[in-house]
Amino acid sequence: MHIVITEPDIYSTKSIEKLRDLGEVTLLHPSKKEVLQHIESANVLLIGLQLFVDEEIIEKGKKLKIIGTSTTGTDHIDIKKAEQQNISIVSLKGDLQILEQIDATAEHTIALMLALFRKLPDAYASVKEYRWERKLFVGHELKNKTLGILGFGRLGKKVAALGKAFGMKVMVHDKKQVTKEYSSVSKNELFQTADIVSVHVSLEDDTVHLVSTKEFSLMKRGSWLINTSRGKIVDDDALLDALNSGKLAGAAVDVLSTENTPGHPKNNKLIAYARSHNNLIITPHIGGSTFESLDLTSSYLVEKIKKHLHQQ
């Protein structure tokens, strides 16, 4: 048994030792070139979010049985090609017994709101230049703002609870979920009413550009957008138009549409905008990256893979 791990930093030492009990373990950087050098003999490939497992990797992995990812989303894997090669995809999608224990992305969502509202990146940068100018960084409070949650699944519910704890007025829209605890509204009403829209839907064919020109046109002038789900759910061009026009006072995103594409991040138009504007905050898909969550998810994924191998 040969197991290749492309991002060993996100797997605990204990988890890696458990894998060594199964066979040879090769630890790599998340580099396609490195992976291609080792994939021919691999039976299991464990990845994070930094490598896109494309057709070339899968075709060269003639002995691959499993591709494992410690994430809920799998858009960084060529699923269709993997299925053609009879390779099993093992992820955390739908594993609520473990996912319910993790608050990392929900907390990061609130952190982005606070950073945006209180101008924290600019204030910190200013102080590092030995400046002490309080008047330049007057911000806003979350309390009494209307928070619109787009997608009321596991993360949407956690963000709603945190928003409520901050004294925010919470409304939600979900095509399946209905809640009595918060105001359930139509998608149009959510965008028309909310001061802040926070996106928490999974990436599917029908959610690509779920937030686009129409949705931004419905929003109040001077509102905000937060996206910690997937980059392709928000239309980049429409977001830039909304920021440039002042329709949005600001936005904060943890995900980009160009992730796992050639030239990323230098070819991303949102990053280009953020380099010269202070109303867009971007973090490098770190919502779920805490020591606590990585330890929990890596241990769980390894056990899940062990069971899967024993069943084969």
Active-site position among 285, 303, 308, 310:
285
pLDDT tier at 179, thresholds 50, 70, 90:
confident
Active-site position among 76, 100, 230, 310:
230
- The CB density around residue 33, as the number of other CB atoms within 10 Å, is 8
Q: Which pLDDT does position 175 carry in this prediction?
A: 87
Q: Which pLDDT does position 223 carry in this prediction?
A: 98
Q: Which pLDDT does position 12 carry in this prediction?
A: 87
pLDDT tier at 260, thresholds 50, 70, 90:
confident
Active-site position among 154, 259, 264, 303:
259
CA distances from 276 to 124, 241, 243, 269, 281 (A): 17, 15, 12, 12, 11
Q: Which amino acid is at 242?
A: A
Alpha helices in 21-103 (DSSP H): 32-38, 55-60, 79-84, 96-99
Domains of the chain: 2-99+291-311 (3.40.50.720), 104-282 (3.40.50.720)
310, pLDDT greater than 90? no
Rounded Cα gap, residues 217 and 73, in angstroms: 29
271, pLDDT greater than 90? yes
Q: Using one digit for the tens of pLDDT, what is the confidence trace for 107-140?
A: 999 999 999 999 999 999 999 999 999 999 999 9
Q: Using one digit for the tens of pLDDT, what is the confidence trace for 50-78?
A: 899 999 999 999 999 999 999 998 999 99
Rounded Cα gap, residues 251 and 242, in angstroms: 10
Buried b (16+ CB within 10 A) or exposed e, 151-162: bbbbbbbbbbeb
pLDDT tier at 176, thresholds 50, 70, 90:
confident
Q: Is 134 marked active-site?
A: no
Q: Is 230 marked active-site?
A: yes
Least Cα distance to 111 among 155, 163, 67 occurs for 163
212, pLDDT greater than 90? yes
Residue 241 CB partners (closer than 8 Å, separation 6+): 213, 216, 247
Q: Is 259 marked active-site?
A: yes
> E-strand spans in the chain?
2-5, 24-27, 44-47, 66-69, 88-90, 146-150, 169-173, 183-184, 196-199, 223-227, 248-253, 280-282
Rounded Cα gap, residues 69 and 260, in angstroms: 15
Share of the chain above pLDDT 70, in %: 100
207, pLDDT greater than 90? yes
